[in-house]
Copies of this chain bind each other. A is one copy, B any other.
């Protein structure tokens, strides 16, 4: 089992902001471009761009260029990684030592 605490912390940090949590929820229903995401929030375009960068850097989401638009989607494998952490904690708690 990988003891990649630093990676876990990075993913958690990416999700430690309410705006970013909501973005991930939005993307769970399917790929979206930045402009569509922007409509849902009361933030400026540069601020959204900043948040998208953090989410991408964490690996939780991916992006692809489609013409002049950037489309974002969830990276399911990295989300599973996060679940693994919780699973490990859970298993440890249920293990009589």
What is A's interface to B at a CB cutoff of 8 Å? Answer: 5-6, 8-9, 12-13, 15-18, 20-22, 24-25, 28-30, 74, 76, 79, 82-83, 85-86, 88-90, 92-93, 95, 97
- Whether the Cβ atoms of A92 and B25 lie closer than 8 Å is yes
Q: Which residues of B contact A8 (CB under 8 A)?
A: 15, 21
Listed A/B pairs (26) with beta-carbon separation below 8 Å: A5-B21, A5-B22, A5-B25, A6-B18, A9-B17, A9-B18, A9-B20, A12-B12, A12-B13, A12-B15, A12-B21, A13-B16, A16-B16, A24-B89, A25-B88, A25-B89, A25-B92, A28-B90, A28-B92, A28-B93, A29-B92, A74-B89, A76-B90, A82-B86, A83-B83, A83-B86
Q: In the complex this chain forms, how many copies of it are found? A: 2
Q: Which residues of B contact A12 (CB under 8 A)?
A: 12-13, 15-16, 21
Q: Which residues of B contact A92 (CB under 8 A)?
A: 25, 28-29
